[in-house]
Structure 1
Amino acid sequence: MAYTLKELQELSDDQLISEHDALAQSTVMGINYYRDELNRRGQNRQTEAMLLYTRRLLWLTVFVAILTVVNVVAILIPLFREIP
């Protein structure tokens, strides 16, 4: 039995896993099945790495912004001290 797209989207993850496991008992899988799973896992690893890099870049940007403010203050303080 095939689900409509709406029915398929409404299934929970556990229901999808159960349906998959039931069909897997009587289905012969081709080599693409395994290759697709390896590609999906590789994509997940790349996504996690990109999220890590994004977080690091965010903190680096915050750090540079703070240093920029400190630099501006360090330059302005001597300038205002020289004004009589």
Structure 2
Amino acid sequence: MVKVSGKGQVVIPAAIRKELDLAAGDQLNVTLIDGQVMMEKLPAAAVWREVVAQVPVEQVVLDEAGHYDVHHAPRFDRWVHGER
């Protein structure tokens, strides 16, 4: 259980901060769902850099059916199939 301060602040219990690996400066998305306040940790910039670095940089041409030539876009194909 937590209290709301006069400024609307709450302290997230240490056990939850540890479980979510929360640190000072981390950002949380706060939403209201069916009368419940939900908080979700947002990825840090370093995490986004890792994700973006994995996106293949190739020109991928799709035909009318939405298919691509694996031989012309091998990195994209590996990325689509979760291979590294």
TM-score category (smaller protein): under 0.3
Structure possessing the higher radius of gyration over alpha carbons: 1
TM-score (norm 2): 0.17
TM-score (norm 1): 0.17
Structure with more strand by fraction: 2
Structure with more helix by fraction: 1
Report 1 or 2 for greater relative contact order, CA contacts < 8 Å, sequence distance ≥ 6: 2
